[in-house]
Chain A
Amino acid sequence: MALTGVLRAGFVQIRVLEMDEALPHYEGRIGLDLVEKCEDGRVYLKGYDEFDHHSIILREADAPGVDLMAFKVAAESDLDSFEKRVTDYGVAVDHVAAGEQPGVGRRIGFTLPTGHRIELYAEMARSENGPFTDNPDIWRDEPRGMRALGFDHCLMYGPNVAEVLRFFTEALDFSLVEKVQTPDGPIAVWLTSSTKSHEIAFVEHAEPGKFHHVSFLLESWNDVGHAADIISRYDISRDVGPTRHGITRGQTVYFFDPSGNRNEVFSGGYSYFPDHPTRVWTPDQLGKGIFYYEKELNDRFLGVVT
């Protein structure tokens, strides 16, 4: 196996204000499949093209935002080796028992200098509703809503991005795919553990632990347009797009869930390999980097977070 250690972004637990607004949005409009609702109130969902039990967890709370994001590692033994490496790096590691989420094995967790909780896990049960594997049809039931294939990545806002970059590359073996560089250091970084253009990204922000967006993969630019049609038809709160990013080259539209958490659906972007150089943006070109067609940022995209 060529891909070792951290495989990919596995799941994210998102806080929502009112579940009766949130679930129809994620299930009906984005098109995720409901996996189960548990007694503690958390609701588990997955994209139709994902093999594992779940990738999105919704938790009703007094304030929206992100509880934690977890990465899947290749083997059980990776949890022990990463625990040692993260501890040796100087970051405290704690443990979450198997079964705290349905179908998920033991996890290790830690808090980043940006204030975000990250967890690693090796085991998750296969979904009974995952993609076919024998002479496989392309899906079981025709995709719904925006036809999201699955969870792709998150963008987090918080302080100490330069330190988080060093942690991800030195302790977790991530690669720096793109960055926005100032004379004082990087202010935004796109990081990957795989051939995806990013598994997680960070933007420098004074307040720790903030959530900029969760992103879902679509099959095509046409599906981004279809998602925008759904946004208009159902009066979903649109933020920006459809447009394209200079950074990662993804074709995208941004909108908000009913609790104000930003969502992205996107397609395209390039593949990354570990021998590739980092692409570097200067702050004066950031407008083009973020929105390649408009070539300018807006205050809401820059500043509104949960």
Chain B
Amino acid sequence: MAEQFTISFEGSVENFSCPKYARVLFAMEKQGLSHIPVGCRGGGCGTCRVIVTQGRYRTRKMSRVHVSEDQKRAGYVLACRLIPESDLLLRLAGDGPGV
């Protein structure tokens, strides 16, 4: 089984696990959870935007419309493009419908 990281949320005791190399939003959906709102799942719509406040990560390319270069430096990411490299602490920062 792949190494697992714990994805937690500020101000909440809830968390879920995400395998190394998996994308956080997909790991959440596979466990039937709904902590983060789900939009296009492709980095395009901003619905699943979060701020990573603790932890190491990388991302696939995300729409510049929803994560500017400045926002990226401030930890804004789209959870559907977010790949953890340690446990992560997140804050919801959605930028789309259903948020």
A residues adjacent to B (C-beta < 8 A): 17-18, 21, 62-65, 235, 237, 256-262, 299-300, 302-306
Contact = CB atoms under 8 A, between A and B. Distances in A.
A306 B41 contact: no
Interface in B54-89: 60-65
A258 B47 CA distance: 15
B42 A304 contact: no
Nearest to A257: B42
28 contacts: A17-B43, A18-B60, A63-B64, A64-B42, A64-B63, A65-B65, A235-B26, A237-B40, A256-B40, A256-B44, A259-B44, A259-B63, A260-B39, A260-B40, A260-B45, A261-B40, A261-B42, A262-B40, A299-B97, A299-B98, A300-B47, A300-B97, A303-B98, A304-B39, A304-B45, A304-B47, A304-B96, A305-B45
A66 to B, nearest CB: 12
A65 B64 CA distance: 11
B25 to A, nearest CB: 10
Nearest to B39: A304
Nearest to A301: B97
Given A62-B64, A300-B97, 7 more contacts: A235-B26, A259-B63, A262-B40, A299-B97, A300-B47, A304-B47, A306-B44
Interface of B: 26, 38-45, 47, 60-65, 96-98
Contact of A258 (B26, B38, B42, B98): B42
A257 B45 CA distance: 12
B97 A18 contact: no
Contact of A300 (B38, B42, B43, B60): B38
Nearest to A207: B65
B41 A256 contact: yes
Closest A-B pairs by Cβ, 7 of them: A260-B44, A303-B97, A260-B42, A260-B40, A237-B41, A62-B64, A64-B44
Contacts of B65: 63, 65
A18 B63 contact: no
A185 B96 CA distance: 26
Contacts of B41: 237, 256, 260
